[in-house]
Amino acid sequence: MTEFGIYVHWPFCASKCPYCDFNSHVRAGGIDEARFLAALRRELAHWAARRAQRTVTSVFFGGGTPSLMSAATVGAILDAVAGHWRVDPNAEITLEANPSSVEAARLRGYRAAGVNRVSLGVQSFDDSELKALGRLHTAAEARAAIDAARETFERFTFDLIYARPRQSPAAWRRELGQALRLAGRHLSLYQLTIEPDTPFAKLHAAGRLVVPDPEAALVLYEITQDMTERAGLPAYEISNHAAPGEESRHNLLYWRYGEYVGIGAGAHGRLALDGQRHAIANERQPERWAERVETLGHGALEMTPLSPAEQADEALLMGLRLGEGLDLDHLAAVGGLVPAPGTIDELMGLGLLEWCGPRRLRAARHGRFVLNEIVLRLASALEPALVPARVS
């Protein structure tokens, strides 16, 4: 696989949204940006020394809220990437931004620094819903940020959260219609997940926050598939929609089980080190991560060599999310294992899986709604591929 990505995690937010369990922290006293930049550069150098021969095809600044970084910091990180690796001239460089007016005003600076794609966390176009989600921006600011993104970048996308408390099919149709009128060629539509240990989880447990039941959520999901398909933005992954050719190159790399470096607090990476694929997970707490990098050169807490079965599990979990499906020959090449034909047939009989090429398997439309169960069934039925071919 030619794709090779760099993920940069900026673990700070202006405030913590009550539904969110991303590794994001609020620092009332301000952020020592110079210290975190120095640590990010040091961590990049560490991994570059071990995997210098690759060509970078995508960089993704995620968070947290990377749009709290100055354009100079973003530029310095991109310069460091280009100093260590060859960078594909068509590399996709994405930055996640919150749609407050302050952050929207920084978009030009990010473009000058080398960013060529922006992803805005819009979440809703309704002010009272934004308030209920704990967001700091208004719907008008979100629309203004989308306009600014469209003017500044050839490629932009935004996120919405649906299946929110009391959301009716009619209300979601209206909101999604509005989103599709404002969208570029990519859109991410996430169903609200009640994440453990969040304020939403406590309210939910106390019966004070009621989300649509699975049947109601399925109706909203079907509306989502129908409307986005008709608008020319079909799902290429469970929650991600794009015009053909406009998929996020960086996210495709994850789902196709490619190789990437993760830097920053709590970042994950998947790297072939001495021909063996490793899972790398960084310390999550930002200041402890920085200290670790300052002493060791990297912030990794775990560097785990992945067995063939673990690699097959991960590749299944990722690949089945995709509209293009999972190539069974690629799966066999990754871990030497493929799911037993009987289990595949059984899931096909239930209408949960379908073929989308001679050896390509994907979750059928209804299957995407119960993907975790499908992956568990297939992962428990892995057996040696007839012609196992290992790749590193």
Ligand X SMILES: C[S@@+](CC[C@H](N)C(=O)[O-])C[C@H]1O[C@@H](n2cnc3c(N)ncnc32)[C@H](O)[C@@H]1O
Where on the chain is the footprint of ligand SF4 (CB under 6 A)?
Answer: 13, 16-17, 20, 22, 24, 63-65, 98, 121
- Round to whole Å and give the CA distance between 182 and 190: 17
Interface residue with ligand X, options 14, 16, 18, 22 (CB under 6 A): 22
Q: State the minimum distance, in angstroms, from the CB of residue 152 to ligand X.
A: 17
Which of ligand SF4, ligand X, none does residue 5 bind (CB under 5 to 8 Å by kind)? none
Nearest to 303, CA basis, from 277, 339, 325: 277
Task: Report if residue 20 touches ligand X, rule: CB under 6 A.
Answer: yes
- To the nearest whole angstrom, how small is the minimum distance from the Cβ of residue 96 to ligand SF4? 8
Spatial separation of the C-alpha atoms in residues 77 and 94, rounded to whole Å: 13
Cβ distance to ligand SF4 smaller for residue 25 or 330? 25
Binding mask 176-195 for ligand X (x = CB under 6 A): --------------x-xx-x
Say if residues 266 and 259 touch (Cβ distance below 8 Å).
no
**CB-based contact 241:233 (threshold 8 Å):** yes
Which C-beta is closer to ligand X: that of 121 or that of 286? 121
One DSSP character per residue, 289-315 reads HHHHHHHHSS-EEEEEEPPHHHHHHHH
Nearer to ligand X, 13 or 338 (CB): 13
Nearer to ligand SF4, 163 or 315 (CB): 163
96 forms part of the interface with ligand X (CB under 6 A): yes
List of residues 6+ apart from 87 with CB closer than 8 A: 55, 56, 81
The two beta strands, 117-123 and 86-97, are: parallel
Question: Which is nearer to ligand X, 85 or 236 (by Cβ)?
Answer: 236
Regarding 251 and contact with ligand X (CB under 6 A), the answer is: no
Contact 214, 227 (CB under 8 A): no
Q: Which amino acid is at 358?
A: P
Alpha-carbon gap, residue 18 to 173, rounded angstroms: 25
Strand runs (DSSP E) across 136-185, as ranges?
155-162
- Interaction partner, residue 16 (ligand X, ligand SF4, none; CB < 5-8 Å by kind): ligand SF4
Q: State yes or no: residue 138 binds ligand X (CB under 6 A).
A: no
- The amino acid that residue 95 corresponds to is L
Q: How far is the CA of 111 from the CAs of 59, 201, 272, in angstroms?
A: 14, 38, 31
Q: Report helix, strand or coil for 62.
A: strand
Residues 286 and 293: their CA atoms lie apart, in Å, by: 11
**316 contacts which partner out of ligand X, ligand SF4, none, CB within 5 to 8 A by kind?**
none
Among ligand SF4, ligand X, none, the one that 114 touches (CB under a kind-dependent 5 to 8 A) is none
Among 114, 121, 269, 336, binds ligand X (CB under 6 A): 121
The alpha carbon dihedral of 263, 268, 273, 275 has a sign of negative
**For ligand X, which stretch binds (CB under 6 A), given 14-22, 242-250, 318-326, 355-363?**
14-22
Q: Which is nearer to ligand X, 9 or 41 (CB)?
A: 9
CB nearer to ligand SF4: pick between 17 and 130: 17
> Pattern 58-87, binding to ligand X, x per CB under 6 A?
----xx-x----------------------
What is the C-alpha to C-alpha distance for residues 85 and 72, in angstroms, rounded to an integer? 20
65 or 248, CB closer to ligand X?
65
- Which residues are at the interface with ligand X (CB under 6 A)? 13, 19-20, 22, 62-63, 65, 96, 98, 121, 123, 159, 161, 190, 192-193, 195
